Chain A
């Protein structure tokens, strides 16, 4: 067992953990933040996506002890019912989900993907690596492909993200 301190959603949380505990299980089983989902536990589905130090990460593929002192943002840190983050509101408006299980991961990945585009990070489909990447449906489909939605809400998810990207901040 080892004591781990994380700054989760702007709150410092310290917890004694088995060193084999993934960041995902630390959030879900020890901090009761069950918004981050376990779909595969193998980095194949994206349901566990959270942001660590502002970067999206599969929280099932990393151990909690590797993140001592890190800042972690989960779906619970983005917004709450009654005070939704613009991305959460756009997912509701565009019906960018069905069963809801991949949804927190999709939303965290969406927010991070827009930040990556804003920061000029190119993707596999960016035609001109020297130009500033743009928010296009193709860019988003490429950048969001690490998050599976078996209900098949992809078309609506892309509509939701584009609306957020194009609305005045």
Chain B
């Protein structure tokens, strides 16, 4: 099916099931511990063995010698995989990292061996018997040291062009009566999903089946095929339940490759879960950035020049953190520039984490906007409204498909009680607490890609949907089932959604917040085909058939849906493909975040007291699960604002705090009741569902709203995340 003109009325608009705040369909399985995650499958044929990953203890250099003799002799050890026996290994297409030090070591905790044994305890013990001797090389670990030398990044897929220019930025900035030129930094951050990267690999001859935990099955198939040098059609990946990803499980990481190698070496199925303390230096992360922002405006607050330059680092050949993305679209201004520079660093790979580019980009831009509003003597909400644009600022002939950004700001300000905010920092006390309010705008792209689904109707009237889409906690199972229920006129209980199997029709999976719009459009296409097949089977004219209440109706005839499959199941497959609507319209999601914090006047301790998100993302397919996506983003934003930072040891070249005790993500006590609401809108340029993704939007803008609230509370501007109290304690207002 092709979608190349904006959607008109269709069966989804009935909104009997779609758009309803329904409980997750897999809820009873998850809350009772019955949903099987990658490491937990019991039905794998053969006797399971356990793999344990050994990571390199240098950051850069090579393995001069590795002695595995003692490990191989240890009780129960079946195999030890190293570069000496693994055979040639390729890399994936999206991640640049190598899955095994062979023998060059590219970063700390890069795997140097997998020990396979009868038991987990035996494998772990034997790992301690492997002796590696290294020749250390000189590595680069300090991003700031390369600020003057890092070249402009090469153009790469995703993230947009490394340089953009519109009008005369330098001239307009120099001429502007009010200007800001400040530099902000964001640290290395970890996805820190709760389920570690894990795989059970099993070979049957030359065919490989892996129960694993990855977000994009098609990329996983491609990248595992490249890594192992075997054709894609000999690999099957199964990931029906994924214990969080946030981009960190986008595609193949070393657990998957090593499990496959270990299973081949041992001649047995092998299960591998990457140990938590390895995850931070072994797998990808969100890289640190340095960002310089310049804004010039007229005295009445209209932006005339906006510039955003950014630096990040990566392994050779790796991607940039495209922080300038949102600056290209969020505010008006005739003269603009962005530039992204990329340093080479010998730390673990930097790559996609929830809202790559936009999340750290807005952490800088939205503090800068707060600072600029203050210089102009404008309210931060009013300053943003004044600089709204309804067209792509780089291409004024290209409108936004929908852009209720101003509505998000106004609704948020009203609901949050923004008018009670004191524009003077440090002016509000509540006992020992200095109280402040802050806000920030939010924007995140709304991509959509070709996605397929298979739909089957049986004689009981059950509709089964199969697609390789994944559910990483996002609610995919539920919205897939809702879409099919709406299309086929059956209650949710009559739909079975099967996800996360590479043998099912292909989707882009969970990434870039395009999963929900893409897969539901694919399900729409498959169900449209199923409706036609049902009508045909029943001898109805498909033009005047309705599907409702479990029946198929035409004229004065009505038959139960299942009757169409009386002579055998009806199975169809289709996908949704797209025309040029995404070129004709700028498709983005928008939001506004508001935060109130208390800062202890004596100790500097910060507590988030209240938060509100107002989001616009087209049709909200399930307000309950969509709200959860947004409040989840708000929690991650609290971490980004206040605590989350992987600290680089610039001498030895690794992230020091590489576990969940040292890398501090928010816990219950850090999070107040969270409020999130949606603007009522549909976007007919997206798909027949008229929906956009929302999972990444919920994170963008959260951290700067909190940072701005802290400034409003104490009057000290901190431009380096996270805003830990050591950065402002000595500048707190004098105690009365």
Contacts and interface: CB of A to CB of B under 8 A. Distances in A.
B624 to A, nearest CB: 5
A55 B666 CA distance: 25
B631 A148 contact: no
B151 interface: no
A38 B213 CA distance: 14
A144 B192 CA distance: 19
B395 interface: no
Nearest to B35: A100
A147 interface: yes
Interface residues of A, number: 63
A168 interface: no
A100 B241 contact: yes
Interface string B27-54: 1111111111101101000000000000
Interface of B is mostly: loop
A91 B31 contact: yes
B220 to A, nearest CB: 18
A32 interface: yes
B632 A92 contact: no
B473 A100 contact: yes
Interface string A5-32: 0000000000000101100010011001
B116 interface: no
Interface stretch (A71-79, A114-122, A127-135): A71-79
B631 A152 contact: yes
B538 interface: no
Contacts of B30: 97, 100, 103
A73 to B, nearest CB: 12
Contacts of B29: 81, 100
Interface in A130-169: 137, 140-142, 144-158
A93 interface: yes
B96 to A, nearest CB: 25
Interface of A is mostly: loop
23 contacts: A34-B42, A35-B33, A36-B33, A79-B31, A79-B32, A80-B32, A84-B28, A98-B244, A98-B475, A99-B193, A99-B195, A99-B242, A140-B668, A144-B668, A145-B667, A147-B667, A147-B668, A148-B667, A150-B192, A150-B194, A155-B671, A158-B668, A158-B673
B129 to A, nearest CB: 15
Given A148-B194, A149-B194, A104 B628 contact: no
Contact of A37 (B27, B34, B243): B243
Contacts of B578: none
A18 B40 contact: no
B121 interface: yes
Nearest to A78: B32
A102 B119 CA distance: 25
B687 to A, nearest CB: 24
A86 B122 CA distance: 40
A59 interface: no
A44 B35 contact: no
Interface of A: 18, 20-21, 25, 28-29, 32-42, 44-45, 47, 74-76, 78-82, 84, 88-89, 91-93, 95, 97-104, 107, 137, 140-142, 144-158
Contacts of B191: 150
A95 B628 CA distance: 7
A152 B698 CA distance: 11
A95 B625 contact: yes
Given A18-B119, A92-B24, A39 B668 contact: no
Contacts of A80: 32, 34
B121 A21 contact: yes
B585 interface: no
- Identify the interface centre among A42, A45, A81, A151: most chain B CB within 10 Å of its CB: A151
Nearest to B242: A99
A145 B668 contact: yes
B473 A75 contact: no
B268 to A, nearest CB: 15
Given A84-B31, A103-B30, 7 more contacts: A25-B120, A74-B33, A89-B31, A104-B33, A150-B192, A150-B665, A156-B631
B173 interface: no
Contacts of A157: 668
Given A84-B28, A145-B668, A150 B193 contact: yes
Nearest to A89: B31
